[in-house]
């Protein structure tokens, strides 16, 4: 089992609040990813990073931002949460050409 952690696991928050979803991995992986997934639906890549100080936007436009100051840490921030942000957010990490290891996810509900 891979060592990748996400907190919080569940978050209910009001519209307009700023939130940060945490993701950490202890495997020393250079590549990290954030996916957005509605229940039973496809995975949408919203951000990825090839290493420290490297961040790129994914295929799905997102109002969130990410940072990669340390190899093991890849937090995602929403400056002003809206009901349309309600979803599950999955963090993953991996090596070049290797498999992706997914965290347990954060289920976000914005009221």
Binding site for another protein (CB under 8 A): 40-43, 45, 59, 90, 92, 94, 96-97, 99-105
CB of 22 to another protein, least distance (A): 16
Decide whether 10 or 77 has the Cβ nearer to another protein.
10
In the beta sheet, which residues pair with residue 81?
none
CB of 104 to another protein, least distance (A): 6
CB of 97 to another protein, least distance (A): 6
Decide whether 90 or 108 has the Cβ nearer to another protein.
90
Decide whether 13 or 45 has the Cβ nearer to another protein.
45
105 Rama class: left (phi>0) / alpha (psi -120 to 50) / beta: left
Of residues 18, 21, 35, the one with CA closest to residue 108 = 21
Decide whether 30 or 75 has the Cβ nearer to another protein.
30
Kindly state the DSSP code that residue 8 receives in the 8-state scheme.
-
């Amino acid at each position: 089992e891979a060592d990748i952690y996400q907190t919080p696991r569940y978050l209910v928050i009001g519209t307009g609040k700023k939130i940060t979803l945490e993701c950490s991995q202890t495997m020393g992986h250079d590549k990290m990813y954030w996916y957005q997934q509605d229940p039973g639906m496809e995975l949408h890549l919203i951000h990825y990073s090839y290493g420290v100080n490297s961040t790129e936007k994914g295929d799905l436009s997102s109002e969130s931002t990410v940072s990669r100051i340390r190899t093991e840490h890849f937090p995602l921030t929403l400056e002003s949460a809206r009901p349309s942000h309600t979803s599950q957010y999955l963090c993953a990490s991996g090596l070049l050409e290797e498999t992706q290891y997914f965290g347990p996810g954060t289920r976000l509900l914005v009221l």
